[in-house]
Structure 1
Amino acid sequence: MNRNVGTVDRAARAVVGAAALGWAFVTGVTSGAGLALLVVAAVLLGTAAVGFCPLYRLLGISTSNRHQVSRSAAR
Structure 2
Amino acid sequence: MKKNLGNIDRVIRLVTAGVLAMLWFQNVITGTWAIVALVIAVVFALTGFISWCPIYAMLGIKSNAVK
What's the TM-score once normalised by structure 1's chain length?
A: 0.80
Runs of 4 or more consecutive aligned structure 1 residues displaced over 4 Å after TM superposition: none
State the structure with bigger RCO (CA 8 A, min sep 6), 1 or 2.
2
In structure 2, how many angstroms separate the alpha carbons of the residues matched to 1:61 and 1:6?
11
Determine the structure 1 residue equivalent to 2:23: 23
1:19 partner letter: V
Determine the structure 2 residue equivalent to 1:54: 54
Structure index of larger Rg: 1
1:1-75 correspondence to structure 2 within 5 Å: 1-25=1-25, 26=27, 27-28=29-30, 31-66=31-66
Structure holding more helix per residue? 1
Question: What whole-Å deviation, never above 9, does each CA across 1:1-59 have from its counterpart, x for those lacking one?
Answer: 0000000100011111111111222224xx21110000000011110000000000111
Q: 5+ residue gaps in structure 1?
A: 71-75
1:37 partner letter: A
Q: 5+ residue gaps in structure 2?
A: none
In structure 2, how many angstroms separate the alpha carbons of the residues matched to 1:56 and 1:17?
18
Percent of aligned pairs with the same amino acid:
29
